[in-house]
């Protein structure tokens, strides 16, 4: 992204001039950031800046409340409801650990793992009758928090989000 390159260029120039802007300690942090960014592909960086795992955890909780409100988990004897409940619990358990975003490589791996569990939840939702606009919006928001905007938009439609929804 252009902004990232501008920031990186400024840090590099400051390091080359050996004139840290706010003391040696802040310059060292900036130099460390600049060195860490050199190993990163542009595509991974673009995705990383969109990842927000703590908010993904919040969206998972909202999905759970929405499913519960419409009675999606149903009775224990209903196979579809059990599959949905199990898929949701697995996703919720995996998302629970993120109070803040980890470093870039770990964040991308964690987002990929959560996305796999999110896809399983979507499949379970599709097998039930609980689909709806709000649920689809939440699914889209969840995948956006994982840096997977296009996939989230497609899965949201499968979960019932209206194509003409004002939030799309």
Domain assignment present for 140: yes
Structure tokens given for 102:
């980890």
Residue 120 counted as domain residue: yes
Q: Which pLDDT score, from 0 to 100, does residue 39 have?
A: 67
Enumerate the H helices of 38-132 as residue ranges: 42-48, 53-69, 79-95, 104-126
> Rounded CA gap, 49 and 153, in Å?
18
**Residue pLDDT, tens place only, 8-61:** 433 444 444 444 444 444 334 443 444 455 567 899 899 999 999 999 999 999
Distance CA 167, CA 69 (A): 21
Q: What is the span of the domain harbouring residue 59? A: 53-158
Same domain, 61 and 8: no
pLDDT of the residue at 79: 65
Both tokens assigned to 48 = 């990383």
- Tokens for 105, please give them: 């490589």
Q: Are residues 13 and 74 in the same domain?
A: no
Q: Please give the DSSP secondary-structure letter assigned to residue 21.
A: B
Q: Is 42 exposed, middle or buried (0-12, 13-18, 19+ CB in 10 A)?
A: exposed
- CA-CA-CA-CA torsion for 133, 79, 71, 132, nearest 10 degrees? 10
41: alpha, beta or left, given left = phi > 0 and alpha = psi -120 to 50? beta
Task: Tell me: do 66 and 34 sit in the same domain.
Answer: no
Taking 70 as the threshold, does the pLDDT of residue 64 lie above it? yes
């Amino acid at each position: 992204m252009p902004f990232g390159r501008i920031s990186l260029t400024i840090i590099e120039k400051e390091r080359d001039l050996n004139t840290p802007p706010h003391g040696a300690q802040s310059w060292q942090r900036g130099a460390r950031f600049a060195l860490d960014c050199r190993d990163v592909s542009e595509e991974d960086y673009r995705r990383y800046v969109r990842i927000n795992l703590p908010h993904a955890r919040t969206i998972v909780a909202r999905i759970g409340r929405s499913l519960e409100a419409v009675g999606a988990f149903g009775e224990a004897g209903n196979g579809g409801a059990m599959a949905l409940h199990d898929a949701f619990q697995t996703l919720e358990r995996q998302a629970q650990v993120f109070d803040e975003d980890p470093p870039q490589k770990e964040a991308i791996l964690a987002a990929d793992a959560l996305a796999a569990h999110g896809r399983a939840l979507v499949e379970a939702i599709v097998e039930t009758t609980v689909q709806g606009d709000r649920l689809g919006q939440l699914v889209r928001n969840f995948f956006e928090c994982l840096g997977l905007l296009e996939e989230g938009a497609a899965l949201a439609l499968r979960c019932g989000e209206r194509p003409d929804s004002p939030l799309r």
